[in-house]
């Protein structure tokens, strides 16, 4: 096939007309195709039907006799926090229960950082940059694009981000405020961060005192076949500020 840059103006015009005709034919089929990634099928959703029958009106009191029909438990009920703490291998005090959309939580967290700043910083983020391992999750990148956060790409290797590149970047530039991480079965390549990469992320010196690691552990329990990938993060997560989300 002739490269576009080698085509004449007339050839390019005919090529455009041909492509527009093909596009029109596809649109004429009136197909409604849901291209959402990671969206469960109806059969998968049916697996959770029993959960709707487990809780009744009589189950409105918590472990501390708090009435869950009222306001309160802003960071989540103790039962829910204890459950997810066990799943994620951290203490219940490190758990905040939000909605069922981790993207919403992450967007809100970065929005608040842009408006008000975060602990350890000196005010709202201005001229902020984020490290984006690639290939990565397009919706993470869309959050940055929407909020006006510059994106700096680094390679995603077989065991996680290229840590030599990451460490060099964050050590020198205080405008770099964070990094996106999908540590387990990372979309689209399916890689799992190694313990060494996780330790280096937790320990790396950063020029920005308010640096944040967005630890989007979205696929923590999405194991399907082969050897189960295990991650131990509680013993290595000592660096401090981080935002972890799972769905």
Domains detected in the chain: 101-245 (3.40.640.10)
CB 194 within 8 A of CB 222: no
3-class secondary-structure state, position 212: strand
Q: Which residues contact 170 (CB under 8 A, 6 or more apart)?
A: 131, 176, 179, 204, 205, 206, 207, 208, 211
Segments in the chain below pLDDT 50: 233-244, 246-247
Q: CA 168 to CA 200: how far, in whole Å?
A: 12
The pLDDT, as a whole number, for residue 117 is 95
The pLDDT, as a whole number, for residue 33 is 77
Q: CA 122 to CA 3: how far, in whole Å?
A: 52
The pLDDT, as a whole number, for residue 232 is 52
């Amino acid at each position: 096939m002739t490269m576009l840059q080698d085509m004449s103006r007339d050839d390019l015009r005919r090529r455009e007309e041909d492509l527009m005709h093909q596009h029109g034919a596809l649109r004429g089929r009136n197909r409604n195709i849901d291209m959402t990634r990671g969206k469960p099928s109806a059969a998968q959703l049916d697996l959770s039907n029993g959960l709707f029958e487990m809780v009744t009106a009589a189950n409105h009191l918590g472990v501390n006799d708090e009435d869950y029909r009222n306001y309160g438990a802003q960071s989540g009920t103790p039962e829910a926090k204890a459950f997810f703490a066990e799943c994620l291998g951290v203490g219940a005090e490190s758990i905040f229960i939000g909605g069922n959309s981790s993207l919403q939580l992450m967007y809100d967290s970065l929005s608040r950082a842009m408006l008000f700043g975060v602990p350890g910083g000196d005010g709202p983020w201005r001229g902020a940059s984020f490290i984006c391992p690639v290939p990565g999750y397009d919706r993470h990148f869309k959050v940055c694009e929407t909020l006006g956060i510059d994106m700096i790409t680094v390679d995603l290797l077989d065991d996680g981000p290229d840590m030599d590149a990451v460490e060099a970047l964050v050590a020198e530039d205080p405008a770099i405020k964070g990094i996106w991480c999908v540590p387990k079965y990372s979309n689209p390549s399916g890689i799992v961060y190694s313990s060494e990469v996780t330790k280096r992320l937790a320990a790396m010196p950063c020029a920005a005192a308010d640096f944040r690691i967005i630890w989007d552990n979205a696929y923590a329990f999405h194991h399907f076949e082969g050897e189960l990938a295990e991650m131990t993060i509680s013993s290595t997560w000592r660096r401090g500020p981080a935002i972890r989300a799972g769905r």
